[in-house]
Amino acid sequence: MPTYERSVRVNAPFEEVWDFHSTEEGLVALTPGWMNIRIDAVRGPDGEPDPEVLEAGSVVESSVRPFGVGPRQSWNSDIVARERQDGSAYFKDVMGDGPFREWTHTHMFDADDGETVVRDRVEYALPFGALGDALGPFARLGLAPMFRYRHRRTRDLLEG
């Protein structure tokens, strides 16, 4: 399965960066405007609506309409893991419904001398079976601008 990875160093404390990425507001703030994201519902692990923190077991039901073209596409994310220990943390979301055949996004955070290194790893499979598999490596061309935006926006919002 193709994998995309990208990292950025953020001149902000680990706690602040981790907390920001743990919320619905962080998700919306880091999604490029051209994706036209709409959050339809957020449920916590016990089914409670609009939890403050996206813990393991939370579900984000959203939709996107890239570049305002075509119909809205569901993009539902299940937070399947969330762990933290002494200066490092990660959470993982899996697309339950959406435009990819498979999508697993691991968000990793490491404290480093007052700064935070943020790493994203996405494992994905495109739709359309064998054709999607053949085109999978080329999807990086679309993922790169989205993650460049996310990392630039993270720095803009948290550095200052």
Q: What is the pLDDT of residue 144?
A: 94
In the chain, the domains with their CATH numbers are: 3-158 (3.30.530.20)
Per residue in 81-97, pLDDT tens? Answer: 999 999 999 999 999 99
Mean predicted lDDT score pLDDT of the chain: 95
Residues 34-41 have a mean pLDDT of 96
Asked if pLDDT for residue 160 goes beyond 80, the answer is no
- Comparing C-alpha atoms, which of 21, 101, 16, 98 is closest to residue 53? 21
Give the whole-angstrom CA distance, residue 142 versus residue 159: 26
Bridge partners of 124, per DSSP, are: 103
What percent of the chain stands above pLDDT 90?
A: 89
Fill in the amino acid letter for 16. Answer: E
Residues 113-141 have a mean pLDDT of 87
Residues 108-126 have a mean pLDDT of 97
Residues 2-21 have a mean pLDDT of 97
Where is pLDDT greater, at 88 or 142? 88
DSSP classification of residue 36: -
Please, are residues 11 and 155 in contact by the beta-carbon 8 Å criterion? yes
Per residue in 45-87, pLDDT tens? Answer: 999 999 999 999 999 999 999 999 999 999 999 999 999 999 9
